[in-house]
Chain A
Amino acid sequence: MPFTILTGDTFLSDGTAKKILIPSSADYFVATNVTQMPLAPATGVVIRSEWFGPKFGAGATAANDGIRWKKTNSTNALLIDTFATSTASNGFTYVVTNPVVEAQAPNAITAITAASPAVVSQTNTYSDGDIIQFYGTTGMLQISGMNFQISTTSGSGYTLIGLRAAGFAAAATAGFTRRISKYLAVEPQFLYITEITKATQAVVRTSVDPTAYYVVGMKIHFSIPYSFGMIEMNQLTGTIVAVSAANYTLTVDIDSTAFTTFAFPASSASPTAQLFATLAPAGAATKRDPNTYVPTGYDFQFQPFRTGQFVPYLLLSGGAQSPAGAASDRINWIAYKLEN
């Protein structure tokens, strides 16, 4: 059973996790940090990392693990161990099924502030732009089960642009998160709504940056349970007229001026408040100017229903001590496959 080189490539790391799509699955994968390899970097900097697939049985790499090659501090002597041992760091995760949970151990949070935007305290290895699913929260039960995109990330916490929690009665004091895929099995995906303004063109805030999923001209359908107040918006369909990546908002052509104010239900341990407020794709209002031939409201990248997250793929964690390297590191990778 010889190995076949399935595919390979190179990328310039931005310090964050990298997804490598593996169209026909892989059995062995190696990433080489060609920037750090000839240097004598600080202890812990990974210069080469290896992953062994499910065909290796008991020898297969566990989730978020793999073999890491490092150098001792400021010398060329090699140290080889696994990402999970002693000073643990993040390694490879092989994802083969949807819904896509990038198998990582649950990570405990210590607080979510009742502020706008909300700030989460948590020892973490996440990166800006990651999508985090909250569950098992103590306090702020009304967001337990929701997904949020994170920003201003540090090792001790991050900000939720999509959650303006100043109106919440109290902060969350505990809970758990796990990182999930940015894209669901099928796109466009439904999104969680965290705020809707009362305006001639309602501004809708979502828990993640909506510009990754929706563009101007697409139609969206609202599902607003009565517990969120703005029941008049429930089951309406509107056309997106503006989007904002900075504020995680969509502006729609629905006049909500006279609607009831949108507000999260109170945190409650008893499940009496219907959750969640969401929006879902409802087609598009596409147009083409017959004189200028300029189309509006159409983008092949966003509009059609299509596979969102291709599987299988290998997730290379980012950072100097992980396979995807630190910012500006050049990473070469090769995927191998056993012949049948």
Chain B
Amino acid sequence: MSFPTGITNINNFAPELPVQASEDLLSTPMFNLIHSFGVDLHHAEAYIGKTTRMSRFERLSTDGGQLDGSGIDPASEVPVRTDIDATMEIYAKSIVTNEQVVLYENSKTLTKFTALLGQWVREKEDLLMRDLFASSVSYINATGGTNGDQPSNISLNDVNNIETILLNNDARTMLVSIDAMDKFSTGPTRDAFIALASTALTNDLQKVQGVILKNAYPSQEGLRPEEYCSISRFRFFVSSKGAKTPGISTLGRTVYTIPMYGLEAAAKIEQNNYTAVIGYRPPWVVSSVAQNSQLYAKFAIARAITNQNWISGLNVTTFTPS
């Protein structure tokens, strides 16, 4: 307790507006964008339809082929072509701002909202690729965990099983090895396939036998912040938006889907003349009394699984119920 002194101070004469704006905005939350890692980028020409076809010749049979000297030609083989098609789709978002926001707030809203729309483009594209992986790929339930659920929590055996599937199908790794160095508590990573997981699985990933957490890689050079660890032949990248389906495990828990793939397993197609666009419509266009302006963002995308042999993955639950 203090006695009044007659001194005018901040306790008896507070400023009219006892706040001030910090020089910088706080960060807008953005989730890890992982679902376009390692997918091929293709481009669709304008003016020739909205469906893009990607074709692959399957390899020829290696059966037979030896000439026996009789002069009889070996049977010829008709090459087989597989066509993968994808439909171009356009997505858009807008922000309409009243002039009074700018007039009274004077906070450079157009600049800030433009940045927000730019973030939306990247996040939306990431989720669209996630949905592709979640909808059009076969996954196998993990069974090597010990949580007693179906699927179980992730284990080394489950990861190795997927590696076997990919290797049996001649899938190629896409991340190069990181050589061992003379540093304590580090270990080399092998050339690796990519695995995409929910951040809800990080606790379980740490406990998988043989896991090398990112900090234990011999070198941190070139690593992405989204990367979490290496298990067997897979480098795991995590996002809070990783695919999941609530409440469908045997014990009623959330099932998380982990796409695991090698080179050329999936593709993203951009439309020529229509990649990401951020535009501005002035007030005299948007509003009859010129009071509202509009910012918008648009982008076109097509997506496809280009080779099912080179992508697989796991359905897992968490060891601790979630």
Q: Does B169 contact A (CB under 8 A)?
A: yes
- Interface pair B135/A189, CB less than 8 Å apart: yes
User: Does the CB pair B51–A273 fall under 8 Å?
Assistant: no
Question: Could you tell me the distance between the alpha carbons of A164 and B305 in the complex, rounded to whole angstroms?
Answer: 31
Complex Cα–Cα for A222 and B255 (A): 21
B322: CB under 8 A from chain A?
Answer: no
Bound form: Cα–Cα A308–B132 in Å: 10
Q: Which residue of A lies closest to B138 (CB)?
A: A223
Chain B residues 117 to 151 lying within 8 A of chain A, measured CB to CB, are 131-132, 134-143, 145, 148-151
Cβ–Cβ < 8 Å partners of B248 in chain A = 133, 135, 145
Residue pair B169, A185 in contact (C-beta under 8 Å): no
Contact with A along B164-205 (1 / 0, CB 8 A): 010011000000000000000000000000000000000000
Q: Quick one: given A135-B250, A304-B51, A305-B86, are A141 and B305 in contact (CB under 8 Å)? A: no
Q: Are B249 and A304 in contact (CB-based, < 8 A)?
A: no
- Considering only residues 59-106 of chain B, those with a C-beta below 8 Å from chain A are 80-87, 89, 96
**Chain B residues closer than 8 Å to A269, beta-carbon distance:** 148, 250
- Flag the segment in A10-18, A276-284, A324-332 that touches B: A276-284
Among residues of A, the one whose C-beta sits closest to the C-beta of B49 is A300
CB neighbours of B305 from chain A (8 A): 280-282, 305
Q: How far is the CA of A222 from the CA of B308 in the complex (A)?
A: 9
Given the complex of chains A and B, what is the CA–CA distance between A235 and B145 in angstroms?
24
Q: Which residue of B131, B302, B308 contacts A185 across the interface (Cβ within 8 Å)? A: B131
Cβ B135 vs Cβ A185 within 8 A = yes
Q: Hey, which chain B residues are within 8 Å of A222, CB to CB?
A: 138
Q: Distance in Å from the Cβ of A305 to the closest Cβ of chain B?
A: 4
Tell me the complex Cα distance, A242–B304, Å: 24
Distance in Å from the Cβ of B306 to the closest Cβ of chain A?
8
**A305 in contact with B132 (CB, 8 Å):** yes
Interface size of A as a range = 35 or more
Quote the shortest CB–CB distance from A145 to chain B (angstroms). 5
- The B contact surface, by secondary structure, is mixed
Judge whether B303 is part of the interface by a CB distance below 8 angstroms: yes
CA of A281 to CA of B306 in the docked complex: distance in angstroms? Answer: 9
Query: Bound state CA distance, A271 and B86, in angstroms?
Result: 37
Most buried by A among B149, B151, B249, B250: B250
A304 contacts B150, C-beta separation under 8 Å: no
Determine the distance from Cα of A305 to Cα of B81 in the docked complex, in whole angstroms: 18
**A275 in contact with B151 (CB, 8 Å):** yes
Asked if A221 and B309 sit within 8 Å, CB to CB, the answer is yes
Contact of A76 with B by CB under 8 A: no
A144 is contacted by which of B131, B134, B137, B250 (Cβ under 8 Å)? B250
Q: Cβ of B169: which chain A residues have Cβ within 8 Å of it?
A: 235
Set of chain A residues within 8 Å of B148, measured between Cβ atoms? 269-271
- At the interface, yes or no: A307 with Cβ under 8 Å from chain B? yes
**Which residue of chain B has its CB nearest to the CB of A98?**
B131
Contact of B140 among A98, A133, A225, A279 (CB under 8 A): A225
Residues on A with beta carbons closer than 8 Å to the beta carbon of B96: 340
Report whether A285 and B80 are in contact in the complex, using a CB–CB cutoff of 8 Å.
yes
Partner of A237, one of B84, B165, B304, B309: B309
Q: Which residues of the other chain, B, contact A276 by a CB distance below 8 angstroms?
A: 140-141
Closest-by-CB residue of B relative to A221 is B308
Is A184 a contact partner of B135 (Cβ separation < 8 A)?
A: yes
Contact for A284 among B83, B136, B249, B302, CB less than 8 A? B83
B109 at the interface (CB under 8 A from A): no
Assess whether B312 is interfacial by the CB under 8 Å rule.
yes
Contact: A145 with B250, CB < 8 Å?
yes
Q: Which of these, B134, B161, B309, contacts A184 with CB under 8 Å?
A: B134
Residues of B within 8 A of A99 (CB): 134, 243, 245
Is there an interface contact between A219 and B82, defined as CB atoms closer than 8 Å? Answer: yes
Which A residues, 94 to 138, have Cβ-Cβ distances below 8 Å to chain B?
98-99, 101, 133, 135-137
Binding site for A on B (CB under 8 A): 51, 56, 80-87, 89, 96, 131-132, 134-143, 145, 148-152, 161, 165, 168-169, 243, 245-252, 255, 292, 302-305, 307-309, 312
Instruction: Show 28 residue pairs from A and B whose CB-CB distance is below 8 angstroms, ordered by the A residue.
Output: A99-B243, A135-B250, A136-B252, A144-B249, A144-B250, A185-B131, A187-B135, A190-B137, A190-B138, A223-B139, A237-B308, A271-B150, A271-B152, A272-B143, A274-B141, A275-B140, A276-B140, A280-B305, A282-B307, A284-B84, A285-B81, A286-B83, A300-B51, A304-B85, A304-B87, A305-B302, A306-B86, A340-B292
List 8 tightest A-B contacts by C-beta distance, closest first. A223-B138, A185-B131, A221-B308, A304-B85, A184-B135, A186-B135, A306-B87, A271-B150
